Amino acid sequence: MQCGKGGEELADDRLLDIQAVHKLFKGKTVVSELTMDIGRGEVVALCGGNGAGKSTLLRMLAGILRPSGGSIAINGVAWGENRDFYARQIGYMPDDYRFSQGLTALETMLFWARLRGLGKARAKEVLEQVGLSGTGGKPVASFSKGMRQRVLFAQALLAKPPLLIMDEPTNGLDPYWMESFVALVRQAAAEGQTVVFSTHQLQIAEALGDRYVFLRDGRLVLDGRKEEIKGQHGEAGLQKAFGELFGLA
């Protein structure tokens, strides 16, 4: 059930409603008239090459960028109607982040936890989930790329938000931890959280996603579930679809 602006429940399973959203930068269209609904518990892989508009779309979904036109609503509430409510619906994992010098993983997580009204126990719990509870006094700024990604993933999980938005979340992850990451995303979806993530790696999209949205030059060119795409393209699935869409087949 959805909640509308006044708190009334809406009788469908949509979490995210995107209507004719577009974004212009210096007169150039980066995202063009995109319309789609995303339901509760879906894991949506946003695919496309560099410059396809993936990160721009995710930043608009997260409320960091304002669309040039169109509307985005979570649980029936648009960002401009109630920013605090909208922000509480989201856990956002950016592609990169400049961490405060000197803060440990626990200190960093405690800072984010307090912003969300959460305590030390939850901060420790998410660090345990991402395998960083034993990093001691080592500052996050000195971590490897993969470890910093795990810190960002942990903060996105902190408040157990209805919507997880992740921009290239697997960049820098080592193969050992990749399996744990996939399991945690799948667990979040099983518990009813919706996940939208971007990737340019089709093997990551296939491992994580159950629905695939392809962008090219800011336009939606394919939106389908794993079974639908395999039905159209056989076991080659995403690889064949990607090749046909981007002239690589």
Q: What rounded mean pLDDT belongs to the chain?
A: 89
Q: Is the pLDDT higher at 237 or at 11?
A: 237
Q: Does 86 have pLDDT greater than 80? A: yes
Q: Does 38 have pLDDT greater than 60? A: yes
Give pLDDT, residue 235: 60
Per cent of the chain over pLDDT 90 is 71
State both tokens at 82.
């109630």
Query: How many other C-beta atoms can be found within 10 angstroms of the C-beta atom of residue 115?
Result: 11
Give pLDDT, residue 2: 41
Domains of the chain, CATH where assigned: 14-246 (3.40.50.300)
For residues 42-59, average pLDDT: 94
Count of residues making up the chain: 249
Q: Does 82 have pLDDT greater than 80? A: yes
Query: How many other C-beta atoms can be found within 10 angstroms of the C-beta atom of residue 162?
Result: 18
- In this structure, the dihedral spanned by the alpha carbons of residues 188, 190, 192 and 196, taken in order and rounded to 10 degrees, is 50
The distance in angstroms from the start CA to the end CA of the chain is: 42
Per DSSP, the three-state class of 62 is coil
Condensed to tens digits (0 to 9), the pLDDT of residues 174-215 reads 888 999 999 999 999 999 999 999 998 888 888 899 999 999
Of 14, 15, 36, 11, give the one whose Cα is nearest residue 89: 15
Q: How confident is the model at residue 233 (pLDDT cuts 50, 70, 90)?
A: low
163, 193 Cβ separation under 8 angstroms: yes
Give pLDDT, residue 10: 43
Q: How confident is the model at residue 128 (pLDDT cuts 50, 70, 90)?
A: very high
Give pLDDT, residue 1: 38
Give pLDDT, residue 96: 86
